[in-house]
Each structure stands twice: as C-alpha cells, then as structure tokens.
Structure 1
C-alpha cells in the first residue's frame, strides 16, 4: 500500500492535480462530493486559487473533476493506510502479540505516517498563496519521508522473517546458553572430551587409580 501511495503521488504530481483541493479536512474530507451543489462549492473554492487564476483560467467543471479525483484518491489512500496499520497494531498490542521494542518501533512508524500526512498539506499550502507551485524543498521532504517509511516497513518485515540475518547480535544472544545452563552442562562436556583410559582428576580419580593398582 505504501508503494502504491508513492505511485499515486507521482501521478498526482505529473497531472498537476495536487492543488485541486484547497482545504485540509482529515475526517470530513474523506467524504467525496455527493451532489451538484457540492461540486459547485468545491469548484468555486478552486477558482480562487493561484493555479486557476494563473494557469487554468477558463477551466470547466468537468475538467476540474478530472484533477480533483486524483488528489482525492491520493488523500483517501493515505487514510486507508493509516487504518490498515493502526487497527491490527492495536489488536496485536492488546492480545500481547506485539510488545517491547517491536511495539515501540511500529508505533514510531505509525507516527511517521501521521507526520507524512501533515507534511503533505504543508507542501500543498505552499502552492495556494501567490504562485501555483509547491515549494521544492517541501516536495523533497514529502517524497523523502515516504521513502523512509517504506524502507522502515521493509526492514522491519525482513527482521521479523529473518532475525538471524537482520539482528545478528540478538540472534547470537538468543542462541547462546544461559550461565546456569552452561555451568550445568560444562562438567558433562569436559567428561565427554576425556580420552578413554585417561585418569580422572581430583581425589576420586586418584582413588580409582590406586584401586586398579
């Protein structure tokens, strides 16, 4: 889903659809226009934007709908990613399937996802003031954060699937015996390494040698 989000964001950028929605409504904005009056209200707000005034002057409602849907899908897909991540995370957290460092890492990734949404609006807002172009610095930050989230998710998935490869220190610690276990088995290991016929050490060994004589 995150990779698809990057692709959708690229299409939105190439079609110059990112400035078609001039408001940021994280909850209410998930509902698309349902009537002609809704479309006219959104189109009227867009007509006041620098992009319409300087680039798309003369655009009709049907053309506005084409660019609107790309930006709407872009934002809706981001909301779906948040829901698809948060609900299973809370379920496994409640059942005890996710805990400790893993829980903190997943919570951090979710927080980065929320930050990505805020960064997206921060980027769009830069193109709604005077110039119909978003800040290139905010654009790079938005894309870079998306790639970071994707990389962290991929790394975490690989770490869970192949812990010995991605967490060698943890795997080595998990594979080494506990001190008490090593102490309990150390004597047996030394005895198993003793050559047949070799005298035993200590008082017991001397007694067996004398008895044999």
Structure 2
C-alpha cells in the first residue's frame, strides 16, 4: 500500500510539474507576442545571461541601457527623441519576456533532474524531457540570434529568425502538451484519422511560421479586406509561380496571400 501511495504521489508531482511548465510556456508565448506588438524586442541590446536577471536599479544604470539603445537603427530612424520614460516602457516588456523565459526553463529543467535522480521516469520520458530541456537552452540562443538581426543595419528583426524563434516555442509547448496527453498511454495505434490529425498539425505549424512572416513584414497592412484582396482572390501583384523563389517570402503581398490560403485549408480539414 505504501508503494502504491508513493507511486500515486510521485505521479501527482510529475503532473503538476508538466502542467505548470505548460502554463509558463503558454504565458511566455503570450508575453512574447505583446513584446512584438509594442515593438519592445530591441530595447535590451545585449545578452546578459546572469547579470541581466536584475533590472536597472539606479538612474545611472537606466541611462546606460538607454544609451546602448540609442546606438541602434530602430532608435535613430523610428524612435529618435524618445524620452527615458518611454524607453522604460518598452524595456520592461522585453525584460519580463526574458525573465519569464529563464523561469520557465528552470521550472522544467530542475524538477526533471530531480525526477531523473530519483528514477521516477521511464526511458522514453527521459529521452523526451531531455530533448525539451535542450530546446529550452537552444530557444534562448534563437532569441538572441533573432534580436541581433535588428541591431546593426535594420530597424526590426529578420522575419525568418522571428518565425524560427516562435516555432521553437510552439514545439516546446506541443511536446509538453503531448507528453501530458500520452503519459499513461502504453502504445499509440495509428489509423487514417491519426494521419489526418498529423497533416492538420503540420498545416498549423506552417501557418504559425507564415504568420510570423506576416508580423515581421507588417504584411497585414497591405490588404485589409476579406475574402478578396483588393477585389481579387489572387492579388494582381502576386504570381503563384514566384513561390518557388525564396525572395517571394520577403514580399508582404505574397506572404499575406499564402497565410490566407493555408487558413482555408485548415478550416476545410
């Protein structure tokens, strides 16, 4: 009876851990979206893994961060003349995003190490949770890789890097979600419906990537009517054959059209 009670208790702890991780990653994606919408992502121009845990605590430190921001194109070309108070507003969004990313990583990785030491996980769970732990670390690198693209010659980040960063977060979220869903399933049987669901999920992930393109290119501003785009299903400046050319994925019109078409396929499925 004692062993059964301990087993149930351990399963409860693991469930709480996974659900908490799921909540934190979901919150991280939400805050990341707000950081994007408020154009705050470039407010912190360096990657301070440890020292960046604490926010600026003195006026001098605030001025240091602000002076670094003044050196990048976004300030010079878009936010020139911004006050320190306005800078603090965008700084806090990016700071919260980075702190939440650290918190989500620690909340997942530290309990995983504990459960690993206590031998409470199956081999498959160890492999899966090790992959997720690696992805948490790699996601931090991807975030900085994305930010760097907007610090030198552009006023915004690369939409390609933005999409990779967002997709990475979605993959982490999905892996945690499915680990909860199938944790007590011994064997998964695939049928025609299963393959349809897999195809549906692939389309959803693709839509997320193209959605990041739309956001990164401000492509939503090009055509603001539905269901037609300036009176046409295929707008006049979009040529289907051009989708074989990588340059078309940097065209706001092409990207918005593709985003709409994928949405129609998702609805049909």
Flag whether TM exceeds 0.5 (same fold): yes
Q: In the aligned structure 2, how far is the partner of 1:87 from the partner of 1:135?
A: 33
**Given the alignment of the two structures, is residue 129 of structure 1 paired with residue 152 of structure 2, yes or no?**
yes
Paired position in structure 2 for 1:197 = none
Q: In the aligned structure 2, how far is the partner of 1:80 from the partner of 1:65?
A: 22
- What's the TM-score, normalizing by structure 2? 0.60
**Given the alignment of the two structures, is residue 153 of structure 1 paired with residue 176 of structure 2, yes or no?**
yes
Paired position in structure 2 for 1:168 = 188
The runs of 5 or more residues in structure 1 that have no matched partner are 170-213
Q: Pick the aligned partner of 1:65 from 82, 85, 88.
A: 88
Paired position in structure 1 for 2:52 = 29
Paired position in structure 2 for 1:86 = 109
Q: In the aligned structure 2, how far is the partner of 1:32 from the partner of 1:99?
A: 40
Larger radius of gyration: 1
- What's the TM-score, normalizing by structure 1? 0.76
CA contact 1:17–1:70 (8 Å) conserved in 2: yes
**Given the alignment of the two structures, is residue 118 of structure 1 paired with residue 141 of structure 2, yes or no?**
yes
Paired position in structure 2 for 1:211 = none
Q: In the aligned structure 2, how far is the partner of 1:168 from the partner of 1:86?
A: 27
Q: In the aligned structure 1, how far is the partner of 2:105 from the partner of 2:33?
A: 19
Deviation >3 Å, runs of 4+: none
Per-residue CA distance 1:27-86 (angstroms, 9 max, x = gap)? 111111011111011111111111111110000100000000000000000000111011
The runs of 5 or more residues in structure 2 that have no matched partner are 1-23, 190-269
Q: In the aligned structure 2, how far is the partner of 1:81 from the partner of 1:13?
A: 19
Q: In the aligned structure 2, how far is the partner of 1:69 from the partner of 1:49?
A: 18
Q: Secondary structure at the match of 2:171?
A: helix
Higher relative contact order, chain-length normalized (CA < 8 Å, sep 6+): 1
What displacement does 1:168 show? 3.2
